Each structure stands twice: as structure tokens, then as C-alpha cells.
Amino acid sequence: MSLRRCITGLTRSVKVGKIENEMDISIIHHFPYFGLFVLLVLGVIGFPFPEDAILILCGLLIANNVVKPVPALLVVSLGMLMTDYFLYHVGRKYGRKVVTHRRFRKIISAKRITRLEKTFRKWGAIVIFLGRHLVGLRSQIFLVAGILKMQRLKFVLADAVSSVATISLMVGAGYWGGSTLELIKKDVEEALYALLVLIMLIVLALLIWRLAVRKLRPDVGEE
């Protein structure tokens, strides 16, 4: 199975649309390191490129020897930290007025800010570490960290530790999947089975994270 087919299958599976799909494939195919970084940035500003999917793709690229492990991991690490800090900076700059910003008012409401403020006062930096693994709350939590003027160094350290955990899990899953697909590429049915197992492992990992933060979720429940 060619690398292009792997990328096409991954992007089509999340149904991001024809234009975004072609852009994803083109960037990664021609400029893999730069492409991974750009996709992380685009995901923050509203394009349908989930962070976890990009990290899994990074693992696939490493497994297929398209990118070298160390540079690729440095690129995605830098991309994650920069995009997270951008959200933190926006929250710190605009404060509670961020809910009136035409782009960020779609991400967070005044009511959610109040709820997350209570959670931050109770859990502190732990919210940063666990928050990125709560679907739909990652961007909100980083914005509120800035709104509450959390110390920059404290935020960066908590975010860095959280990023290491996420990268290890998702890139590792992508690498395992890529290696497995390479070994069984002669049999399409077995390749599909391996992909199914990979998806099940990812779902299981996400469920484990949800259990780990079950005490956090009641404080930041949905509106």
C-alpha cells in the first residue's frame, strides 16, 4: 500500500471535504515536515484537521520512512506548543472580552468561562495536563488559562508534559499501524483488519483518559 493511498484513506475517513482533503495530501506529500506543522496550525484557526489525526499521520510517515523520527517529533512538538501558547496568549490579551471576538466567540461563552474558572481554582495546572484530552474543551481550557493570567512558565511546563503524553500515545499508535500495514500489505483484508485493531486501540486509550479525568468533567460539563 503506497504512502499516498494511506494519506488519502486517512483524510477521506474523517470526511473533511474535497478541497481540504487535496490540500492535506499535497502538503504532506511534497513537504512532510512543513506539512505536519502547517496542519497543526490550521487546526487551531478553524480548519477540520484534528490534532490527534495529525499525530497519527506523523507516526505513519515515520513507519514508512518518509520522515526521520527525531525531526518529525520535534516539528509536531513545536507545533503543538506554539498553537497552545497562541490560544493562551489570546485569552491573556483579550481577557473575558474574548467572547465578543468574531472568531473566538464561537469557541467559548461567558458561561463556560465561569465554569472553567471554578475548575482552575480547584485543580490548578492539572486542568492543563488533563484538559487537552477532553474532546471539545482543549481550546477553551487554554483560552481560560490566559484569561485567568496563569503564570506563563507554569502554563508552558504543564502543556509540555501533557504534549509528551499525547505525542507518545498518538504517534506511537500511528507508527505501530504503519509498521503493521507494511508487513501485511500483500493482503488487503489483513491490512483492513490491522487498521480496525488500531482504531480500537485508539478508542480504548481515549476511554482510559476519560476515566482518568472523571472527577474533572462534572466541573466543566456541557452547557
End-to-end alpha carbon distance in the chain: 44
pLDDT digits (tens, 9 = 90+) for 46-68: 677 788 888 988 888 888 888 89
pTM: 0.67
Among the listed ranges 4-18, 57-71, 181-195, which one has the minimum average pLDDT value? 4-18
- Residue 76's closest CA among 104, 96, 52, 94? 52
pLDDT surpassing 80 at residue 109: yes
The reported pLDDT for the residue numbered 9 is: 47
pLDDT surpassing 70 at residue 1: no
